[in-house]
Amino acid sequence: MPPAVIVAPDPVWPARAQQLLRELRSAFAPLNGADEFTYEHIGSTAVPGLGAKPIVDLQVRMPSLRSLAELAELLAPTPFVPAPGARPDSPGVYADVPRPGDPEDAVLYEKRLFHAPAEEAVLHIRRSDSPFAQFVVDFRDWLRHHPDQARRYEQIKRALAEQHAAASDYDDYTRAKSAFLDEIQPRLRGWARNRSS
């Protein structure tokens, strides 16, 4: 399958995500402070009715990042292995790119990326105080509560997927979606603030 193919929503995605999150909880249980970790199904497969790449995105937030080697050892019993980027500047592999208006402190955006090819799943491990970690959750929830925007987002993704169908990696596709995120961010931020107040 080409890297940026959008498929119809699959009702098994949430169940697969929950099963994988259970495996992650078990793998990380020996760590001190594991009860402070947050486990989340994020991305388009977490939005009911939204077409997506058939890859389940998961996020674990922890107060401080462990080394890639330590995390890889803990995850050895699971299907997840470290995910190298397709090229040295691959976005989102070792660090997230701050959203407009967010703090610029680079340490906040460090991350560890794993994937489980056989499970068609990706795991993003981020700091609990990562602004980007919060943004992806807010974006997921905003799409869940705004089905008209979810449909529009899917149309944009389908057009971009077709445009980048021959690409050898997701990077150009991922960057191209940023225009939509930049456009809706002020409304999303306002909605998230009102929801939490």
Edge-first strand order for the sheet with 81-82 is 38-42, 56-62, 121-127, 111-116, 81-82
pLDDT tens digits, 141-165: 999 999 999 999 999 999 988 887 7
CATH says 13-196 is which class?
alpha beta
What average pLDDT does the structure give for the chain?
Answer: 92
Please state the domain extents for the chain: 13-196
Contact (Cβ atoms closer than 8 angstroms) between residue 158 and residue 2: no
Place of tokens 């690409």: 167
What is the amino acid identity at position 89? D
* Selection from 5, 72, 1, 61 nearest residue 36 by Cα: 61
From the CB of residue 158, how many other CB atoms can be counted at a distance below 10 Å?
14
**Lowest mean pLDDT across 11-15, 31-35, 39-43, 88-92:** 88-92
What is the model's pLDDT at position 173?
A: 72
Contact (Cβ atoms closer than 8 angstroms) between residue 19 and residue 33: no
